[in-house]
């Protein structure tokens, strides 16, 4: 119960940070993160997955990967907005520029999950005996499911939510997307 509580507190703190730092896109990322969490829990119930401590750790790690994908997208969007692109063009360019990093990190994690799952299933080590680690398999499986859902959440849900606001009054508030420098020295550097 304490691990689940720690995960919930961590999720709330991450959501708060994203909203304070990224402003409107942080709200969008928080909604996408909630969708991600609900989809993951639904999949865990459908498969069914028993969430051991290792599984909870994998789930929390996959939440971090979902947040990382949104951060990559939003940083690229901010660069595009600073360069003078429109909101819609910044969304498309931000996703296009962030996709290679998101893809590479998630594919690498999925390959690692496959290796952990295979090795956790049991194999004979000469002179040492049989190595069998079902908790490692559970961690690998839970992480792989979480990474798959996080890719869907970051690429599809976040993009759809951002595109819903194209042409609205919200997109006219440039400071809701790209915070203005607060000091004269920061404004001079910008």
Q: Using CA atoms, how far apart are residues 151 and 148, in angstroms rounded to an integer?
A: 5
Residue 178 CB coordination number (10 Å): 18
**Two tokens at 125?**
């080590």
Residue 145: pLDDT over 90: yes
Per-residue pLDDT at 180: 61
pTM for this structure?
0.81
């Amino acid at each position: 119960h304490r691990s689940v509580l720690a995960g919930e507190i961590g999720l709330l703190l991450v959501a708060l940070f994203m909203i304070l730092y990224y402003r409107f896109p942080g709200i969008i990322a928080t909604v996408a993160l909630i969708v991600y969490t609900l989809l993951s829990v639904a999949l865990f119930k459908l498969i069914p997955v028993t969430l051991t401590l290792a599984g909870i750790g994998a789930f929390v790690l996959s939440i971090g990967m979902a947040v990382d994908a949104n951060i990559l997208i939003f940083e690229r969007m901010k660069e595009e907005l600073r360069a003078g692109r429109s909101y819609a063009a910044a969304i498309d360019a931000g996703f296009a520029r962030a996709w290679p990093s998101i893809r590479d990190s998630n594919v690498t994690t999925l390959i690692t999950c496959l290796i952990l799952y295979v090795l956790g299933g049991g194999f004979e080590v000469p002179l040492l005996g049989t190595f069998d680690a079902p908790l490692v398999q559970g961690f690998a499986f839970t992480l792989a499911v979480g990474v798959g859902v996080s890719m869907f959440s970051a690429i599809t849900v976040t993009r759809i939510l951002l595109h819903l606001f194209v042409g609205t009054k919200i997109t006219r508030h440039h400071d809701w997307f790209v915070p203005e420098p607060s000091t004269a020295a920061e404004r001079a550097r910008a």
